[in-house]
Amino acid sequence: MDDQTRMLAGLAGLGGLSQGDVGDPDSVRKQLGQPQQDIGDILQQIMAITDESLDEAQARCWPEESPAHWGGSDDPAEGGEAGGGTAGGGLPLNFQHRKHALNCHRMKPALFSVLCEIKEKTVLSIRGIQDEDPPDPQIMRLDNMLLAEGVSGPEKGGGSAAAAAAAAAAGGSPGADGGVEHSDYRAKLAQIRQIYHSELEKYEQACSEFTNHVMNLLREQSRTRPISPKEIERMVAIIHRKFSSIQMQLKQSTCEAVMILRSRFLDARRKRRNFNKQATEVLNEYFYSHLSNPYPSEEAKEELAKKCAITVSQVSNWFGNKRIRYKKNIGKFQEEANLYAVKTAVDAASVSAQASQANSPATPNSGSYSLSHAGDAAAAYLGLHPSNLNGDGEAVLNIAPSLQPQVGTEDL
DNA sequence: GTCAATGATTACGA
DNA sequence: TCGTAATCATTGAC
């Protein structure tokens, strides 16, 4: 109140302005030196009315004949409670009369104009610095994420693209239960979406109601206080910013919920599934046929991955596990090794036989291929000397030094 | 429910 | 970056 008093005191001496000067501070200043009786009178009235509490201001009603507030619309609807009785609020009649006299005073518009200008140059200019904030990059990120996840924006497939991307990121081939997990993900995402929009609607409604309330209040106050439309707009912007921060929290929470859902979805996809028999056979064949160097090249891994319908990483994992487990317990794997060696040999021999049959169709006994021949072929295929085969045609495998057992040679 | 098998992950070293 | 070794976590047979 002291500042206001000082401001008002500084304006003492204004008076005698014509209607044409109303609203023009420069014109007001030009009139300095005019009789000061009017100004002193109006200042006293203003001081009396500005002592009124907000509750009182809201409770009372303005006289219908009171002029529109100095800088706003003439529409009575914008005046909030404007249009009520002429003597409402239970206030003394002389008080009502003073307000009425103040609003009708010929100096009021000019004086308020000057007060607003001073206020604009002091308090509001300080606020104005932070008024023009650039768009918050964090909000932009949240918006983009919500849009990408299908939470905000038009509902097209309810985030099925995101679910598909999550499935792809999991790296696994779509299993029989993939559809179930997919629909579960979509259902939960739809739930999040619904809650998000419901909360957003509530916030927007609350923001709108509160903004209207404040605007009405400020317009009402602008009858007796220097509150310009610009200041009202600024106040509305401040309210919107406050509500934006609440919205940001909502968006942040929604993003977190989506991330949790997504990670759970990915975890569910990551559940271990045993490779099918065919895939295991392909991998084992390669492993045992390259036992001297069971390190497939990148190309070989890609080829195996393609054959087994698994990823290259899974091939690498499989070979890593196989090498270490074979090395740890060769004895246990010996039978399996022999099995695959023979199988490989038979396959190779079969191909060889077909080739030789094509070259000399009259070759006798071409239909019965002995295991000893298979053993030779296996040895040839594996790069083994025939002496490494036992009497049954089983390969006594030449194990890579890196796979030689550290201990327990009895396993051999 | 137990347990071996097995795919995946992690820490570490070359 | 790749391979090794240890370990975790799940599957599937019993």
Report, as an integer, the average pLDDT of A224-230. Answer: 78
Between A22-26, A104-108, A276-280, the lowest mean confidence (pLDDT) is in A22-26
Report protein residues in contact with nucleic acid strand B, where contact means CB under 7 Å.
A 172, 270, 272-275, 280, 313-314, 317-318, 320-321, 325, 332
Per the model's pLDDT, the better-predicted residue between A249 and A406 turns out to be: A249
What would the pLDDT profile of A126-150 be if each residue is shown by its tens digit?
555 555 556 677 777 778 777 777 7
| Average pLDDT value for chain A | 65
A327 touches strand C (CB under 7 A): yes
A264 touches strand C (CB under 7 A): no
A332 CA from B4 C1′ (Å): 13
A257 CA from C13 C1′ (Å): 39
Distance between CA atoms of A376 and A188, rounded to whole angstroms?
61
Nucleotide nearest to A322 (CA to C1'): B6
A324 touches strand C (CB under 7 A): yes
Identify the DSSP state of A397.
-
CA angle A67/A43/A107 to nearest 5° reads 45
Q: What's the confidence (pLDDT) of residue A263? A: 60
Residue nearest to nucleotide C2 (CA to C1'): A316
A42 CA from C10 C1′ (Å): 86
Reported confidence tier of residue A375, pLDDT bands at 50, 70, 90: very low
A156 touches strand C (CB under 7 A): no
> CA A279 from chain center: how many Å?
39
Distance between CA atoms of A192 and A186, rounded to whole angstroms?
10
Q: What's the confidence (pLDDT) of residue A311? A: 84
A287 CA from B3 C1′ (Å): 27
Between A103-117, A148-162, A201-215, A230-244, the lowest mean confidence (pLDDT) is in A148-162
Q: What's the confidence (pLDDT) of residue A362? A: 39
pLDDT at A16 over 70: no
What is the pTM assigned to this prediction? Answer: 0.41
Q: What's the confidence (pLDDT) of residue A109? A: 77
Distance between CA atoms of A243 and A236, rounded to whole angstroms?
11
Integer angstrom CA distances of residue A386 from A133, A340, A390, A391: 83, 17, 9, 11
